[in-house]
């Protein structure tokens, strides 16, 4: 986590110890805090929603089994199995949408780590001028990425590609391709 300079911002009342580096670190801390706060807020809602879908799927399957046991009493035009299959397919589409949220959450967590590590390096009066420390930071950040798209984006920008071009390159990997490269996405 970003170590916030003591006393907060001194922009309103600068003195001889005022530093643009401290102000930069403070602003990076705000970015990390905002991302973490948004992730925390959305996480509990998403967990509730995921539990709801899992419970719904369980109840639907139990209802299907109960109805099929007494099926000889039900009109055949109810198409119980087809309707349950349709509901299960809708639930599956919702789970895929949760996978996208999970990927977003992972990316934001990596952004927080990157910003925190950057703030740590910039705040060190000696290390910020040492190229090997910057290389070490880059290697550490890249090694923490779990998604192929993140690695592609990072590599492209490090090699000098424009942000838009790097996003287009990384965006060309679909969820299915990325999942195949990385293994199944596990939620929660």
- 124-174, pLDDT tens digit by residue? 989 999 999 999 999 999 999 988 989 999 999 999 989 889 999 988 655
**Would residue 58 count as lying in a domain?**
yes
Residue 154 covered by a domain: no
Q: Is residue 9 part of a domain?
A: no
Listed in order, strand segments (DSSP E) in the chain are: none
Looking at the domain assignment, is residue 159 inside a domain? no
In a domain, 37, yes or no: yes
Residues 29/8, Cβ–Cβ less than 8 Å: no
Which residue range is the domain that position 130 belongs to? 20-144
pLDDT of residue 114: 92
Number of separate domains in the chain: 1
Could you tell me the sign of the dihedral formed by the alpha carbons of 78, 82, 86, 87, in that order? Answer: positive
pTM score: 0.67
Q: Is residue 104 a part of any domain in this protein? A: yes
User: Would 108 be classed as within a structural domain?
Assistant: yes
Q: Is the residue at 45 inside a domain?
A: yes
């Amino acid at each position: 986590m970003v170590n916030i300079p003591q006393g907060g911002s001194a922009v309103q009342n600068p003195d001889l110890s005022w530093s643009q580096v401290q102000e930069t670190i403070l602003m990076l801390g705000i970015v990390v805090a905002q991302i973490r706060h948004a992730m925390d807020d959305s996480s509990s809602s998403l967990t509730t929603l995921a539990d709801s879908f899992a419970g719904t799927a369980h109840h639907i399957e139990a209802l299907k089994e109960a109805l099929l046991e007494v099926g000889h009493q039900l009109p055949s035009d109810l198409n119980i199995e087809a309707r349950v299959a349709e509901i299960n397919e809708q639930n599956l589409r919702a789970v895929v949408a949760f996978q996208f949220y999970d990927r977003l959450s992972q990316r934001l967590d990596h952004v927080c780590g990157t910003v925190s590590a950057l703030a740590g390096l910039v705040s060190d009066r000696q290390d910020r001028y040492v190229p090997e420390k910057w290389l070490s930071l880059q290697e550490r950040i890249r090694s923490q990425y779990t998604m192929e798209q993140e690695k592609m984006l990072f590599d492209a920008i490090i090699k000098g590609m424009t942000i838009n071009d790097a996003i287009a390159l990384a965006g060309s990997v679909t969820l299915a391709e990325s999942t195949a490269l990385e293994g199944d996405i596990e939620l929660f």
